[in-house]
Chains A and B, each alone.
Chain A
Amino acid sequence: MTDYLKIADPEWFKQRVTGIVFCVFAAFALLAVRLFHLQVIGGEEYRRLSASNCIRLESIDAPRGLIFDRTGDMMVDNRPAFDVSIIPRDARPVEETVGNLAGLLHFTAEELMEKIREKRRLASYKPVLLRKDIGRNTLAAIEVQRYDLPGVVINVTPRRHYLYDQSAAHVLGYLGEISNEELSCGKFPDCRPGDFVGKFGVEKTFESVLRGERGGRQVEVNAKGQVVRVLQTVDARPGHNVYLTIDRGLQQKAEEMLRGAAGAVVAMDPGTGEILAMVSSPSFDQNAFVSGMTYDQWEALISNPNRPMENKAVQGEYPPASTYKIVTAIAGLEEGVIDEKTTFYCPGFHRFGNRVYRCWKKGGHGSVEVVRALAESCDVFFYQVGQRVGVDRLAQYATALGLGSPTGVALDHEADGLVPTSAWKRKKTGIPWQGGENLSIAIGQGYNLVTPIQMLGLFAAIGNGGIQYRPQILKRIENTQGEVVRSESPTEAARIEFSGKTMELVRRGLWEAVNTVGGTAFRSRWSAVDISGKTGTAQVVGRKEEETADDQEEVAHYHKDHAWFVAYAPSEEPKIAVAVIVEHGEHGSSTAAPIARAMIETYLGGKSGGQKLAKRE
């Protein structure tokens, strides 16, 4: 007890406790007065309010931001949609109201009652959605019969509308109802079940920007559920508008060119990395996602062998085929395995070990050095180089050129591609690297896999003298007042550190491929502007494997090679780079190159391009 000192008088404590008691009484008196005020004085009024449950909260959805192309052409907007709901407690007698309504909504009364019963767990003052997006005629019919339809409410909600059906669907993406996982993951704090969120493409990438903030109002309603007074309103904040780097004219041109085929086209401004067009074919109907599609429609989409739901430009992994030869050429030149004068003789085949590796040209190319080898795409020349460089050194160059890893474009599910190494193969298959495989990968066959956007970035960097820009899809974000909220500028992902000589030789090879007789893309040259490019024909399956199938013709189609063409133009100081892949298009020179050529023409001043260039300045 000795510790408790200094206290002269234990009574002191007790006196102070008495002080607290007074404070406590005062506080409780305050509570009692308030209680009296609410219950005794305000009791009548509050009971009235409570009886009709008349203070309700209504949500105001924020209009989602719009999406424009680089020139300000609108690509996605919102249109008003009319949804019909019923508030069971206001709709009494419910059966009668539903009976009146059923015919107008093209449902049977029983179907509607079923919907209401499903939601019976909800409080009866909460609206039950009966039919979304009714047409204007139905709307008019309901308005006319208003008095026979108590408790029926029509909400106008903004619905996403993609202006150009199927166009740029893989870039823009689509919306879908928020899933339970998304709701619980915490990334969508403002969302509720039934909300639509971006599921794919730009709609998903820029979800937080496009979404805006929900508002709402407190309203007082009468016994019929009609609003008599708005007590307080919190305005919704509309989402920001997004301007893409896409050029809609060019985009449409590419879509036109690729129509009916499976494949991808991507175009980029090599000076900035801005994506000018990105097409993946076949496409899908984005509006169908918003209005809801049937199970059959969805089944048809996902079982289509041409994979319409995949953005082949960034998700599609293909053997690069002959377009890869520039990597082999660069590796050979930089490693000193060859120089500009080194020639190899091509008799049309190359013997390695006890196997014969054929050149695509049966008669052979004769003696070629690196520039002609690129121009004429001589396989034998690159077999020789590949054999000397070896897989692992080749892989270093491929990686340095941006292959084997995503480019970082702001779109979902971007594929890595694959740059094989001997260690990779041993780990993967357990079998050591075979010398012959050096030959296959040197011409872009074998294990190599690239995405069209990777190949495009590579060619754009060769074209602009060595800067690898991160492919950019967003131009800027503006708020509804038109003020720029965020503006994107070109980002350098890497710089190619090769000698000027190497660069020069590769660029010449690409120029000669299009502009000299014997070049593989000679047919696609353009008198107005010099184009540089490289064709490729990617083997899909070993042609020996014959499958037994019912439909020989279809099997034949799916065994055809993929056609590549990657190019930039003008050859000096390029303004556009294009990568084209046509699945089962057989030859790069005949199917893919004309598409790229048409794109370049459109962009650099074909029929409508002249004024476009002027507009851009």
Chain B
Amino acid sequence: MAYSEKVVDHFNNPRNMGSFKKDEEGVGTGIVGAPECGDVMKLQIKVQDDKIVDAKFKTFGCGSAIASSSLATEWMKGRTIEEAGKIKNTEIVQELNLPPVKIHCSVLAEDAIKAALNDYKKKHGKSE
């Protein structure tokens, strides 16, 4: 099955690829993996005054996983912590036109968002 145009675009021009220092002020890090395919995804956010001012990702996996995390960072930027927590994998599936066999990639991205937010909250004394 061919990848959708949007997946190819994110794959060829990934947005916000890279990483922050883990212990930097305001940074939250989420590292998750998909046991089915062995993909590993790292997603980081930088928060100022409850707002996500920057986001970065590094994903080692298939095109769909890379596109899902790239899209996730785009969507998270500019949102508040609370708003970012509402991003659902189904929205990623829709936006990227993911086929059923690649839905787990979007789930992985949602898990990574949650993990990064939780890490930020934990570090900054805000329990879930």
Q: Do A and B bind each other?
A: no
